[in-house]
Structure formats: C-alpha cells, structure tokens
C-alpha cells in the first residue's frame, strides 16, 4: 500500500474554502428570488448574539456528532474507534476516525453534516418560505465548507482506497494499492 498525504493546514483550508462559500451565497439568492426579503428580515433576530451563539454552539457540536455517527455507521466502526475534541490552536472542533475506512464510507461521514444541518433546512426553507430555516441552512452549509474541501482534495483517490483522518490538518491520508497507483 502507498500512503499519500491529502491534507492542508487549517489556515490553508480556511483560505481555500472561500470559493466554496459561493454555494452559501447561491442558497441566499435562490431563496430571495422565490420568497423575497420579507422572510429573511422576519428571521434576522436569530443573528442577535443571544440567539446566534447558542444556536451556533449546539450546531457545531451536532455537526461533529453527525460526522462520528455517520462514519461509525458507514464504516462499521465502534465508538472506541472515534475521537472527539477541539484543536485549540485553531479553535477547530473535530470528530476523528482513529482507523482507516473505505473512501465511500469516509465521504458519507464527511458530507453528512452538510446535508443534515445545511441542505435539508435550506430545502425546507424553499418549500415553506421560512427565513429561520434559510439562515440555519446557510449557516451550517457554510460551516461544512471545510468538509466539502476535503472531499474535493480526495476526488482523485481510487474508490477502493482506505482513508485515514489526518491527526492535525484538514484532510487525510489515502492508502492505495501499489498496482492501481502505478497505472
């Protein structure tokens, strides 16, 4: 097996993630096209610190738990094969697989918070015109931008590759069969 580092520093990840932020902008523009600014103005009080900070804190904890649960389910991992915490030097919370898992299981666990906390609330906002769902959807789509970046980083890895979370950086190690790699 060949081990390749598909990671970048947390600082590089924050900078590289900015283009993915256009997705959150697109969500806002689509909603406003369909429903106007009224529902957004009605829900804007969620941006006040006493609402926003608790919602964001709970959402970030849920985001990491969703990663962990999805990786455990898709990769058939036990709770002991997961690690949760905060990287204090970059103030980045994390869920971390302590063992390599197949690429498809890794991608499922990586994208799950974006879908559950971002895309689904955004979709609901498009259906019912609710500005609260829009703001939550945009907020947690944006919070998952680093995850989308990681999926982008490993896009060229073979489907049968094993993926291991990088212990410090945004990204992972990819283990590929030497025969596949040489083709």
Burial class (CB in 10 A: 0-12, 13-18, 19+), 156: exposed
The chain-wide mean pLDDT, for the chain, equals 89
Burial class (CB in 10 A: 0-12, 13-18, 19+), 54: exposed
What global pTM score does this model have?
A: 0.87
Look at residue 10 and tell me whether its pLDDT is greater than 90: no
What is the Cα–Cα distance from 146 to 131, expressed in whole angstroms?
25
pLDDT tens profile 47-85: 888 999 999 989 999 999 999 999 999 999 999 999 998
- Domains contained in the chain, number: 1
The whole domain housing 14 covers 2-182
| Residue burial 77-113, b: 16+ Cβ < 10 Å; e: rest | beeebbeeeeeeeeeeebbbbeebbbbebbbbbbbbb
What is the per-residue pLDDT for 179? 56
Look at residue 167 and tell me whether its pLDDT is greater than 90: no
């Amino acid at each position: 097996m060949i081990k390749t580092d598909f990671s970048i520093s947390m600082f590089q990840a924050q900078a590289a993630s900015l283009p993915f932020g256009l997705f959150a902008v697109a969500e806002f523009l689509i909603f406003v096209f369909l429903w106007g600014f009224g529902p957004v103005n009605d829900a804007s009080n969620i941006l006040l610190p006493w609402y926003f900070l608790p919602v964001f804190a709970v959402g970030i904890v849920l985001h990491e738990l969703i990663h962990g649960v999805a990786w455990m389910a898709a990769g058939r991992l036990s709770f002991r094969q997961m690690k949760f915490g905060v990287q204090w030097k970059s103030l980045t919370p994390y869920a971390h697989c302590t063992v390599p898992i197949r690429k498809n299981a890794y991608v499922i666990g990586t994208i799950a918070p974006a879908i559950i906390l971002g895309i689904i609330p955004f979709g609901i906002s498009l259906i019912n015109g609710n500005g609260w769902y829009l703001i939550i959807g945009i907020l947690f789509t944006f919070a998952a931008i680093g995850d989308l970046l990681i999926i982008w980083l490993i896009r060229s890895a073979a489907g049968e590759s094993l993926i291991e979370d990088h212990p410090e950086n945004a990204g992972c190690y990819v283990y590929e069969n030497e025969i596949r790699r040489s083709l």
